[in-house]
């Protein structure tokens, strides 16, 4: 073949290769193209191999032209590969495109149950006065729920606590186990396990065999308090509970103590605060039912019999105790009219706190 023919062949090869490359729009097609022209048996490779038998002068001319074609095809190949890569990237970006101007979807945030909130508030108030928070069992012995609290069997005061008994019979044929009706048994557990000075606060669930209504549930929370030391007086009880009422219900609260009966305290008292809704005026007020006062807890000086029952010297130690219903405090504080709402799991109710 003459040099001219060889050069014309090269020109045709170049034109055909570049046309083919233009038509190769996928990665696979471009790879096939590379193999067809520049692979080991590719068309251009064959031409380059065919240079060997040529005369030196001819080889120089055709070789230079062939190398030019080779460089051109390599350049074309790199360009085609780049174009395919950026087209793929572009398609990915289009598919997963985020519209940053769209408003976000609100994430529903959970919150604490109103009972948990009030328990924390009550605990924080007493912790600030040096009380320590402890918890106790919900399944109790008659011994702790009643006996050690100066409420022996057949004592009429047992009627104050409608009891749910656990179906467990002992050797004497008695049922000594129950669901605690109040948190007061923790007074005994604490005193049995510690020496004065004692200042504890016991939040916890209680159970009573009671019909439910707007202010009564068969499961509810109480918060118990107990302080025992040398020289504790009724003035300490009043001062502590007065401070509590101010912390929870506002600095200008007034408190009222009236005599009440609980077998484990002597004297016993019921504590009320002046109604924060009507400022104690009463007339027509739904919160205090027109009395101007709201009862919030039972309290009193620990009965010396109870102190002696746990082995304390009642001539040396005195103490005070109190117990309040947590939901009732929450009802007062947040203006909730029905205690049954606490357990309904209604988000319209729970979302308000």
The tokens 């130690």 sit on which residue? 317
Give the interface segment with ligand FA5, choosing from 18-26, 34-42, 94-102, 325-333 (CB under 6 A): 325-333
Binder of ligand FA5 out of 33, 144, 249, 322 (CB under 6 A): 322
User: Of 272, 271, 267, which Cα lies nearest the Cα of 289?
Assistant: 272
User: Of 338, 297, 296, 327, which Cα lies nearest the Cα of 113?
Assistant: 327
Q: Reply yes or no on whether 124 is catalytic.
A: no
- Cβ proximity to ligand FA5: between 69 and 299 the closer is 299
With binding defined as CB under 6 A, does residue 189 bind ligand FA5? no
With binding defined as CB under 6 A, does residue 210 bind ligand FA5? yes
Distance between CA atoms of 127 and 124, rounded to whole angstroms?
A: 5
Whole-number minimum distance, CB 295 to ligand FA5, in Å?
7
- Cβ proximity to ligand FA5: between 37 and 221 the closer is 221
User: How, if at all, do strands 293-302 and 265-274 pair?
Assistant: antiparallel
SS3 197: coil
Q: Reply yes or no on whether 161 is catalytic.
A: yes
Binder of ligand FA5 out of 14, 184, 190, 318 (CB under 6 A): 184
Give the interface segment with ligand FA5, choosing from 8-16, 71-79, 234-242, 319-327 (CB under 6 A): 319-327
Q: Reply yes or no on whether 352 is catalytic.
A: no
Whole-number minimum distance, CB 204 to ligand FA5, in Å?
12
- Cβ proximity to ligand FA5: between 42 and 267 the closer is 267
Q: Which two tokens stand for residue 90?
A: 């572009």
Per-residue binder mask for ligand FA5 (CB under 6 A), 220-259, x = binder? x-x-x-----------------------------------
Q: Which two tokens stand for residue 244?
A: 């509590």
Tell me how long the chain is: 353
- SS3 for 187-206 is HHHHHHHCCCCEEEEEEEEE
Largest CA distance in the chain: 133
Exactly one of 17, 208, 306, 328 is catalytic; which is it? 208
With binding defined as CB under 6 A, does residue 196 bind ligand FA5? no
**Contact (Cβ atoms closer than 8 angstroms) between residue 258 and residue 270:** yes
- SS3 for 217-230 is CCEEEEEEEEEEEE
Give the interface segment with ligand FA5, choosing from 46-54, 75-83, 291-299, 345-353 (CB under 6 A): 291-299
With binding defined as CB under 6 A, does residue 145 bind ligand FA5? no
- Cβ proximity to ligand FA5: between 77 and 299 the closer is 299
Give the interface segment with ligand FA5, choosing from 137-145, 165-173, 280-288, 296-304 (CB under 6 A): 296-304
- Cβ proximity to ligand FA5: between 257 and 353 the closer is 257
Whole-number minimum distance, CB 311 to ligand FA5, in Å?
20
Residues contacting 328, CB < 8 A, separation 6+: 215, 296, 339
- Cβ proximity to ligand FA5: between 70 and 328 the closer is 328
With binding defined as CB under 6 A, does residue 323 bind ligand FA5? yes
Q: Reply yes or no on whether 127 is catalytic.
A: no
Q: Residue 219 CB: number of other CB atoms within 10 A?
A: 16
Q: At what angle do helices 114-127 and 326-334 cross, to 10 degrees?
A: 100
Exactly one of 161, 199, 227, 272 is catalytic; which is it? 161
Q: DSSP for 51-118?
A: TTTS-HHHHHHHHHHHHHHHHHHHHHHHHHHHHHHHHHHHHHHHHT---TTSPPPPPPPP---HHHHH
Distance between CA atoms of 76 and 221, rounded to whole angstroms?
A: 81
Distance between CA atoms of 280 and 296, rounded to whole angstroms?
A: 15
* Chain residues 146-165 in contact with ligand FA5, contact rule CB under 6 A: 160
Q: What is the DSSP letter of 212?
A: -
- Cβ proximity to ligand FA5: between 65 and 330 the closer is 330
Residues annotated as catalytic (active site), given as ranges: 161, 182, 208, 222, 265, 321
In the complex, which residues of this chain contact ligand FA5 (CB under 6 A)? Answer: 160, 182, 184, 208, 210, 216-217, 220, 222, 224, 262, 265, 297-300, 321-325, 327-328, 339
């Amino acid at each position: 073949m003459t040099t001219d023919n060889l050069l014309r062949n090269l020109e045709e090869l170049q034109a055909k290769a570049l046309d083919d490359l233009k038509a190769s729009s996928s990665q696979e097609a471009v790879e096939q193209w590379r193999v067809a022209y520049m692979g080991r048996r590719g068309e251009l490779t064959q031409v380059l191999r065919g240079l060997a038998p040529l005369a030196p002068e001819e080889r120089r001319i055709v070789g230079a032209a062939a190398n030019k074609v080779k460089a051109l095809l390599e350049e074309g190949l790199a360009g085609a590969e780049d174009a395919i890569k950026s087209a793929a990237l572009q398609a990915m970006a289009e598919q997963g495109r985020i519209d940053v101007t769209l408003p976000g979807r609100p994430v529903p945030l959970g919150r604490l149950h109103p009972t948990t909130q009030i328990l924390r508030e009550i605990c924080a108030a007493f912790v600030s006065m040096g009380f320590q928070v402890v918890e106790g069992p919900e399944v109790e012995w008659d011994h702790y729920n009643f006996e050690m609290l100066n409420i022996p069997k057949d004592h009429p005061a047992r009627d104050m606590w409608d009891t749910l008994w656990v179906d467990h019979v002992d050797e004497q044929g008695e049922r000594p186990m129950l669901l605690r009706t109040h948190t007061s048994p923790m007074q005994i557990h604490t005193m049995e396990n510690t020496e004065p000075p004692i200042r504890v606060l016991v939040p916890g669930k209680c159970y009573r065999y009671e019909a439910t209504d707007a202010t009564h549930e068969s499961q509810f929370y109480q918060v118990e308090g107990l302080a025992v030391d040398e020289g504790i007086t009724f003035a300490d009880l009043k001062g502590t509970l007065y401070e509590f009422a101010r912390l929870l219900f506002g600095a200008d609260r007034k408190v009222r103590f009236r005599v009440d009966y609980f077998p484990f305290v002597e004297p016993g008292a019921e504590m009320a605060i002046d109604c924060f809704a009507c400022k104690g005026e009463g007339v027509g007020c739904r919160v205090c039912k027109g009395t101007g006062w709201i009862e919030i807890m039972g309290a009193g000086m620990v009965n010396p019999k109870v102190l002696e029952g746990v082995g304390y010297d009642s001539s040396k130690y005195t103490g005070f105790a109190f117990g309040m219903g947590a939901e009732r405090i929450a009802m007062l504080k947040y203006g909730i009219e029905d205690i049954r709402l606490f357990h309904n799991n209604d988000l319209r109710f729970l979302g308000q706190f």
